[in-house]
Structure 1
Amino acid sequence: MIQRHPLAAQTAEILLRRIQAGEWRLGHKLPGETTLAVQLGVGRSTVREAIRELAGKGVVETRQGAGVFVIAVDVAEDWEAVLKRVSIVAVIEARVAIEAEAARLAAHHRTPSDMRALRRALSRRDAGNQAVDDLVDADMALHRAVVAASHNDVLVELFDSFVPRIRSAMIDMLGLKPMADPGADDDAHAELVEAIARRDVAAAAEASRAHLSSLKAELS
């Protein structure tokens, strides 16, 4: 019987161990809430919460009218843990994929309001005359404005998940190795904004890709 709290978390852990031990294999259905509650010595509400926790971790899936089924035997690694583990170069590579597509979509979907936000963000970014922290924050704000102009919530969420990792790495990098050509960097960002303004989807995607690839090369 489970004695300690939180009961639901403990129950989820026990169920996960039983799944990993092969008691219920991939595709197999778990016993009902009443059966599991009796086996574990907890209430049905605790079992229900434990199932929700495992579903959130991608281990089980509740199918309406059919029951709860095993869809994985391992818990997916936490996204923040992944970002802490991987190299900054790997994060930049992911940004290339995300932001080039976001720039393409922004050129297609941008509104007058988006353009005002982009131009404001661009005007606040001056690579040659800002403290490192301020420059990085202004740069992140401009890149986020591009992603926001894509009007794709998934891309926005992905970008936001990268920001803490990118911000600290960029501050460290620029503190040790100042930008070789601040003017060219400002021009690259202006080119991206202008491509979005004239709805040139190919040029917007290429401007984003080229800038981030250049950043990757500096970090490699």
Structure 2
Amino acid sequence: MPLGALRPSPLVEQATQHLREQITKGEWPVGTRLPGENALAKALGVGRSTVREALRALAGAGLVQARQGSGVFVIATEPATGPGEDWSARLRRAAITDVYEVRMMVETQSARLAAGRRTDEDVAALESALEARERAAEGDDAAFVDADIALHAAVVSAAGNPVLTDLFAEFAPALRDGLIGLVEELGLRAHDRNPGHDTHAALVAAIRRGDAEAASGILQAELEQTLAHLHGKPR
């Protein structure tokens, strides 16, 4: 689809406006993956950095979302409404790294609380989730990520705070998309179908015996490693 080359200045604003018009007019319906940065840069007659800034502005307006390893997709044809915007919609358009940083804060504190508050039922749920994660290692990446998130959800639930549980549930869909893309892109299961098993087993054991420092530390280290991958800097 011809977009037309842009005038020299101001390029970012022009690129943003041109792309926004294509989206709001329905040229790229919701769910459509946008052309790559190189293709957009060539069509608009600008550099990739200009396109990247324009896409960032569109993401901030709630029109597009970058998905790790998959590209940039249209998620709305009208800009987000601002302060009254639905929280779930805000998460859907957030960068996975931003969501992950907040997840790390929520989960490390949840693990600490879980070690002090876990009930026999919580421990049983954690052990069951760990076993389910191990079984899911025989399946595809999506099934494994789902089982991994379910185990982490069980940790949060064991903290005994319904607000934390609800907050994690809101994060889960955005986390799932980002993690599936990460596993596929980096081939994290190419040589080990069940990566992180020992770490997760140690986490469950720490919560079982009531060791808050160990539980929090194990989870902090594990999530920091994944966040480093998301930033493109494997540890």
TM-score (norm 1): 0.63
Aligned twin of 2:76? none
Q: Deviations over 1:174-212 (max 9, x none)?
A: 122221655551111111111101100011111111111
After superposition, residues 187-198 of structure 1 pair within 5 angstroms as: 187-198=198-209
Give the Cα–Cα distance (whole angstroms) in 2 for the partners of residues 78 and 101 of structure 1: 26
TM-aligned CA distance change 1:92 to 1:102, over 3 Å: same
1:92 corresponds, among 93, 100, 104, to 100
Q: Corresponding residue for 1:113?
A: 121
SS in 2 for 1:125: helix
Determine if the alignment matches structure 1 residue 218 to structure 2 residue 229.
Answer: yes
1:35-87 per-position Cα deviation (integer Å, ceiling 9, x unaligned): xxxxxxxxxxxxxxxxxxxxxxxxxxxxxxxxxxxxxxx73432122212221
Partner residue of 1:165?
Answer: 174
Larger radius of gyration: 1
* Partner residue of 2:149 out of 140, 143, 148: 140
Does 1:153 find its partner at 2:162?
Answer: yes
1:209 to 190, 212, 220: 220
Question: Following the alignment from structure 1 to structure 2, what is the Cα–Cα distance between the partners of residues 170 and 134?
Answer: 11
Separation in structure 2 between the aligned mates of residue 183 and residue 85 of structure 1, nearest angstrom? 30
Q: Deviations over 1:91-127 (max 9, x none)?
A: 1100110000000000000001100000000011137
What is the letter of the counterpart of residue 106 of structure 2? I
Gaps of 5+ in 1: 1-73
Aligned counterparts of 1:206 and 1:77: Cα–Cα separation in 2: 35
**8 Å CA contact 2:116, 2:212 repeated in 1:** yes
Identity of aligned residues (%): 41
| TM-score normalised to structure 2 length | 0.59
In the TM superposition, residue 133 of structure 1 has moved relative to its aligned partner by 1.2
Q: CA deviation at 1:130?
A: 2.9
Counterpart-to-counterpart distance in 2, 1:184 and 1:80 = 29
C-alpha distance in structure 1 between counterparts of 2:107 and 2:127, whole Å: 18
C-alpha distance in 1 between matches for 2:166 and 2:138 = 30
Q: CA deviation at 1:129?
A: 3.0
Match of 2:143, SS state, is helix
- RMSD (Å), alpha carbons: 1.7
Shift in Å, 1:214: 0.6
Find the counterpart in structure 1 of residue 131 from structure 2.
123
Task: Kindly provide the amino acid, as one letter, of the partner of residue 142 in structure 1.
Answer: L
Q: Distance in 2 between matches of 1:109 and 1:128?
A: 29
- Mapped to 1, the partners of 2:211 and 2:195 lie a distance apart of 21
**Distance in 2 (alpha carbons) for counterparts of 1:160 and 1:188:** 22
